[in-house]
Amino acid sequence: MSKRIAVLVSGGGTNLQALIDAQLRGDLGGGEIVAVISTKEGAYALERAAKANIPGYVVPRKSYDSNRSMTQAMVAKLQELKIDLIVLAGCMVIFTEELTDTYPNAIMNVHPALIPSFCGKGYYGLHVHEAALEYGVKLSGATVHFVSAECDGGPIIAQKSVAVLENDTPETLQKRIMEEAEWILLPHAVKLFCEDRLTVVGRTVMIKE
């Protein structure tokens, strides 16, 4: 039975596009993106969804007085849509524990660094790459992990390293990590989930061959 996937977004949706492209190639392990849900009205990611004939929804953060009430509304929408897997793809809302409690080990996020480096509160978007360059690391990359109540603290599914070049700016490093790591890792992790090949034991994700 195919898994029903919802992709949660807030902006342009480049990782969403990588997932859509994988779905068009038949490369999501039988899973299907049945909903793209934006936390902002007018997000370009919704246009990407429409072009791919995927239903788009908006659960706007600004309509709720707290992250908790917004999270409760999101959970209700996801349950209404009978979602099996949630993928956070550039979703800029920190959800409260209602989401992880309802969907344990069924929410994925891609982070643009090698966790546990440059992760946690405040490390998002270009801030991650600014911190990596300031520290002077020679390798960065991306991590796909299950989402837990701890920010960027859930079990790691996959990681891929990317070289940091001497003349890199946060923007060039961001682009290389997206192209060489994020857009490859995220569809692959979704495929593994949809093929029932991921098992979480403690903090370790076991992958069945």
Cβ-based neighbours of 23, under 8 Å, separated by 6 or more: 31, 32, 33, 52
Closest Cα partner for 176 from 165, 190, 189?
Answer: 165
Question: pLDDT tier at 121 (50, 70, 90 boundaries)?
Answer: confident
pTM over the 0.75 mark: yes
Give pLDDT, residue 92: 86
177 has pLDDT over 90: yes
Q: What is the mean pLDDT of residues 19-38?
A: 96
Question: pLDDT tier at 5 (50, 70, 90 boundaries)?
Answer: very high
**Cα–Cα distance, 41 to 58 (Å, whole number):** 6
Give pLDDT, residue 1: 75
Question: pLDDT tier at 47 (50, 70, 90 boundaries)?
Answer: very high
Give pLDDT, residue 8: 97
Q: What is the mean pLDDT of residues 177-182?
A: 97
111 is catalytic: yes
Catalytic residue among 111, 129, 145, 188: 111
pLDDT, averaged across the chain: 95
**Cα–Cα distance, 104 to 87 (Å, whole number):** 13
**Cα–Cα distance, 209 to 196 (Å, whole number):** 11
Q: What are the structural domains of the chain?
A: 1-103 (3.40.50.170), 110-209 (3.40.50.170)
Whether the Cβ atoms of residue 32 and residue 57 lie closer than 8 Å to each other: no
Q: What is the mean pLDDT of residues 68-77?
A: 96
Give pLDDT, residue 68: 95
pLDDT over 90 for what percent of the chain?
A: 90
Q: What is the mean pLDDT of residues 37-49?
A: 96
